Chain A
Amino acid sequence: MFGFIAARLVTAVFILLGIVVLNFILIHAAPGDPAAVMAGEAGAADEKFLADLRTQFGLDQPFTVQLWNYVSGVIQLDLGFSYRQQMPVAQLIWDRLPATLLLTSTAFVISIVIGVIAGVLAAQMQGTWWDTVISTVALLFYATPLFWVALMASLVFSVFLGWLPGFGYETIGANYTGLARVLDIGTHLILPASTLGLFFTAIYMRMTRASMLEVSRLDFVKTARAKGLRSSVIQRRHILRNALLPVITLAGLQAGQIVGGAVLTETVFAWPGIGRLMFEAINQRDYNVILGVFFISAAMVLLFNLITDLLYGVVDPRIRLTS
């Protein structure tokens, strides 16, 4: 188990390094001189200023030296400077990261829990109208753009019905403290987290259903039945436990989609996370912020992947034993 996790950690580090190099290449592949771009962002562009910028950021040095400087900077969590916001990018991201972690992890849990429950129900009621309803809903969810679902959800539940706040992280100017503040953030979280989470529910639902049906046909399930075990025990301990393995694999693969989806959800609901930060940076063409958020979101995906790997080890004893 330890060796397994260690191997995954090493891979994760290499992937992060790869992204840093990719970022570096992208900045240099961008049309125009990086110094001119930065000067444009800072709102001044005489020759002296450009030359200063080149020296300050080492742009007058050879390519390999620049690459080394960039990589070692990122390792020390220096993600560059945002001239638009007059702040280091790392600081900007650090301030916004908790909101995004709260949103994505809530959505992640919602999608898996509801998806697995609905999938188990659909498998147990195979062929009934409930099964059809679940499959149809899944098909519709696949076809719907996330940002549109978010807009429609805020329209219905916030504008028309007035049940929930449609934007922001907490009530501005309310200055709640303690439990009141937690509750306030919680109510603001409901719409964005359930939109983002429910959007991915369909995938887990279908996967759980298919996987449950497949496992229930295997020989060891027949043996369990023949032994006279109760059906609920077989469902839970024999079928579900095995059926969850592909679902967990899928959860790891979907992590990137959820983090990507956060950009859209946070944009629609004005949730002050790094997704919203990225949207603002797009409109201001603030490259350092865009690349910084990209790097951090990749790191988040790797973290989610690592968690699913650990879960895999918990659910499947073979992984714990073999490595």
Chain B
Amino acid sequence: MRGFWRRYSRNRGAVIGLFILLAVIICAAAAPFLFPRSPWSMVQRPFLPPFTVDGLMLGTDALGRDVLSGLFHGARVSLLVGLVSTVVALSIGIPIGALAGYYGGLVDDGLMRFTEFFQTIPSFALAIVLLAIFQPSLGYIILAIAIVSWPPVARLVRGEVLSLRHREFVEAATLSGQSNLRIIIWQVLPNALPPIIVLASLMVATAILLESSLSFLGLGDPNVMSWGYMIGAARTVLRTAWWLSFIPGIAIVLTVLALNLIGEGLNDALNPRLRSRTP
């Protein structure tokens, strides 16, 4: 564990990323306490620019809502959607990849054609279609993002399992009479974990970007405040109140940047051999 942290912290960007992410998590956790009123409620005159009124640091939007409160509450949605959709995508991708890699042959062929199908169709368009047909709610948004983001997981896991499949310890487990399922779960997958963790951290980032894009197009959950919605709502007043689009965008960039930096740090920490090969 200490070796892990030493290798991770050698990447300065990764440490910065961790601090940014911690700050976002604290904002998300503190939102209901700092801003107990709904972020949708009108608090002041509309279009108050930032830093002009005490108590409303970032001003108000076109409907007189507190922008700072929206940012804090939006952090909750971004993190929640990013995290849960990644977990769901992993739980689709890992079994498919593991089965394909472990059994090979026809199972592999079938599952990989299925994966390729999902990889070829434009994922953002598919997410739009899914949400347009099943009314947008937080649950469906998470599901739609998971459905379009599992294929890379399946391919990665398949590759890892394929390379581990014929190693001695797997053969030893087979000889000791363990069932295939047991071997996959207890022998093969733990050894494939490091690259999966790295991929997962990047997937959270991508999911947050996807969620914001969908909310921007008006396919967000109408009951929760999200950064993408804030930008989408401010789009029509870009000329007169540009900061309303600008500020939530910065929040997205910082959060996603933090997750990408953390992903690189995890890669350094978990794959030390890979690190020394790439310049």
Contact = CB atoms under 8 A, between A and B. Distances in A.
B133 A26 contact: yes
B130 A142 contact: no
B122 interface: yes
B212 to A, nearest CB: 5
Contacts of B217: 263-264, 267, 279, 282
Nearest to A142: B260
B97 interface: no
Interface in B104-158: 117, 119-126, 128-130, 132-135
A263 B232 CA distance: 14
Contacts of A210: 278
A166 B257 CA distance: 28
Interface residues on B, range: 35 or more
A31 interface: yes
Nearest to A290: B132
A154 B122 CA distance: 26
Given A154-B238, A287-B132, A294-B128, A143 B260 contact: yes
Contacts of A23: 129
Q: Is the interface of B mostly helix, strand, loop or mixed?
A: helix
B128 A290 contact: yes
A88 interface: no
Contacts of A282: 128, 132, 217-219
A297 B246 contact: no
B111 to A, nearest CB: 15
B125 A151 contact: no
Interface residues of A, number: 52
Given A261-B124, A263-B125, A294-B129, A152 B213 contact: no
A23 B125 CA distance: 12
A51 interface: no
B3 interface: no
Interface in B232-272: 235, 238-239, 242, 245-246, 249, 252-254, 256-257, 260-261
Contacts of B120: 15, 256, 298, 301-302, 305
Contacts of A305: 120
A26 B129 CA distance: 9
A291 interface: yes
Nearest to A267: B217
B74 interface: no
A26 to B, nearest CB: 5
A143 B123 contact: no
B124 A152 contact: no
B253 A144 contact: yes
A298 B219 CA distance: 21
Interface string B20-34: 000000000000000
B279 interface: yes
Contacts of B125: 259-260, 263, 278, 293-294, 297-298
Contacts, number: 137
Interface centre among A148, A155, A159, A287 (most CB of B within 10 A): A148
Contact of A148 (B205, B249, B278): B249
A226 interface: no
A15 B114 CA distance: 10
Given A145-B209, A268-B235, A291-B129, A139 B260 contact: yes
Contacts of A15: 117, 120-121
B203 interface: no
B100 interface: no
B194 to A, nearest CB: 20
B231 interface: yes
B249 to A, nearest CB: 4
B77 to A, nearest CB: 14
Interface in B191-248: 205, 209, 212-213, 216-219, 228, 231, 235, 238-239, 242, 245-246
A291 B128 CA distance: 10
Interface centre among B13, B132, B235, B253 (most CB of A within 10 A): B132
30 contacts: A15-B117, A18-B117, A23-B129, A27-B133, A139-B13, A140-B257, A142-B256, A145-B216, A147-B216, A147-B231, A148-B249, A152-B245, A155-B245, A159-B238, A159-B242, A213-B279, A256-B120, A256-B124, A257-B124, A259-B125, A264-B216, A279-B217, A281-B132, A282-B128, A282-B219, A294-B128, A294-B129, A298-B122, A301-B122, A302-B120
Given A27-B133, A145-B213, A152-B245, 6 more contacts: A31-B134, A139-B13, A142-B256, A143-B253, A151-B245, A278-B128
